[in-house]
């Protein structure tokens, strides 16, 4: 790999609080090492269309506290094709970009891995997703902020749940992973978490109603991941209405509120550390890796490992929810 003089930077997939902090860290670390930074707008789509602007240090001033991503993001089906990736490569060559840093989730990293292997091109990925479902890193950029948003919402909902003796099913994000639902349940004192990794069966729901609601409590809150596997909050609310019509059931779908807002201190620090480390990795000759954090230490994980492996849920956390819900 030749000397890297210019890096490209993009955010892709779903936005996550802390992406701007990562953009700031990557940009300023690169400039510190006398490299040029070319910001690519709207993810892989902007890489194909050539929506690229050179960034100076002032371009990333006053953004560390902002949610979302100043580089915008977009889904790009065209990048999934060989023709689209060829157009993207041509753009990189034309712009004289020597290496690429991408911030996003599993889909973003998958695209990066394919592109890197096709064109023998150096890419470093940063885990930016509220779902926290990237293997090889303890936490992803945006997860902590989203979790705190969920907790704030559940705290408010519990007030009205208690006032009206209601059972609330609260749907949170996590199409393929239950980290938000599970840890949100523990942090908010919810009675249960329904997650795709551990599908809740009929007898488990009955156990929840009998032990968690009937015996000791006038109100209950259950967090449900939005996954097709779980069926979502509406599915369980409908079941309770049919099987236990005596209960006053309500559904709240938190939706995209979980993605927004100013990033927490943890996400700002995490994004800053990972962003700085991504440039250092390129300078060390590393490529086609995810920069993550493990036991508070920066780690480099090969794309093949980060994408291939599913991040496991700690089963002990389900036990914690059950025990503390009595």
pLDDT (tens digit per residue) in 264-312: 999 999 999 999 999 999 999 999 999 999 999 999 999 999 988 889 8
202 or 325: which leads in pLDDT: 325
**Within the chain, which residue ranges are assigned CATH 3.40.50.460?**
145-259
Residue among 15, 98, 131, 133 flagged as catalytic: 131
Please report the pLDDT score of residue 35 as a whole number. Answer: 97
* 131: annotated active-site residue: yes
Mean pLDDT for all residues in the chain? 92
Please report the pLDDT score of residue 1 as a whole number. Answer: 54
**Within the chain, which residue ranges are assigned CATH 3.40.50.450?**
6-142+263-308
pLDDT band at 244 (very low <50, low <70, confident <90, very high): confident
- CATH topology assigned to domain 6-142+263-308: Rossmann fold (3.40.50)
Write out pLDDT tens, residues 127-180.
999 999 999 999 999 999 999 999 999 999 998 888 887 889 999 998 889 999
What percent of the chain clears pLDDT 90, i.e. is strictly above it?
73
Is residue 201 pLDDT above 90, yes or no?
no
| Choices 3.30.360.10, 3.20.20.60, 2.30.42.10, 3.40.50.460: CATH for 145-259 | 3.40.50.460
Please report the pLDDT score of residue 206 as a whole number. Answer: 67
Distance between terminal CA atoms of the chain? 59
69 touches 95 (CB < 8 A): no
Please report the pLDDT score of residue 202 as a whole number. Answer: 43
Q: Please state the rounded mean pLDDT for residues 105-114.
A: 95
């Amino acid at each position: 790999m030749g000397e890297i003089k210019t890096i490209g930077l993009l955010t892709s997939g779903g936005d996550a609080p802390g992406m701007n902090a990562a953009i700031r860290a990557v940009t300023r670390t690169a400039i510190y090492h006398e490299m040029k930074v070319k910001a690519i707008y709207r993810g892989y789509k902007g890489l194909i269309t050539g929506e690229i602007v050179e960034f100076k240090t002032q371009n990333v001033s006053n953004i560390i506290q902002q949610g979302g991503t100043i580089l915008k993001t977009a889904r790009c089906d065209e990048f999934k094709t060989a023709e689209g990736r060829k157009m993207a490569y041509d753009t990189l060559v034309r712009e004289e970009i020597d290496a690429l840093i991408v911030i996003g989730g599993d889909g973003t990293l998958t695209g990066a891995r394919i592109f890197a292997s096709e064109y023998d091109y150096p890419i470093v990925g940063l885990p930016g997703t509220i779902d926290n479902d990237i293997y090889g890193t303890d936490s992803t950029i945006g997860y902590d902020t989203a979790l705190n948003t969920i907790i704030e919402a559940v705290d408010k909902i519990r007030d009205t749940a208690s006032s009206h003796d209601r059972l609330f099913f609260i749907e949170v994000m996590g199409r393929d992973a239950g980290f938000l639902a599970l840890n949100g349940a523990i942090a908010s004192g919810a009675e249960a978490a329904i997650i795709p990794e551990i599908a809740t069966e009929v007898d488990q729901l009955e156990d929840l109603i009998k032990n968690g609601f009937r015996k000791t409590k006038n109100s209950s809150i259950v967090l449900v991941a939005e996954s097709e596997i779980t069926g979502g909050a509406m599915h369980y609310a409908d079941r309770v209405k049919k099987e236990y019509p005596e209960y006053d059931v309500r559904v709240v779908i938190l939706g995209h509120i979980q993605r927004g807002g100013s990033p927490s201190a943890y996400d700002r620090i995490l994004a800053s550390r990972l962003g700085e480390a991504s440039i250092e990795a390129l300078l060390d000759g590393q490529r086609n890796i995810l920069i993550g954090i493990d036991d508070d230490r920066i780690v480099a994980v090969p794309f093949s490992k980060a994408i291939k492996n599913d991040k496991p849920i700690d089963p002990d956390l389900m036990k914690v929810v059950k025990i503390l819900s009595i």
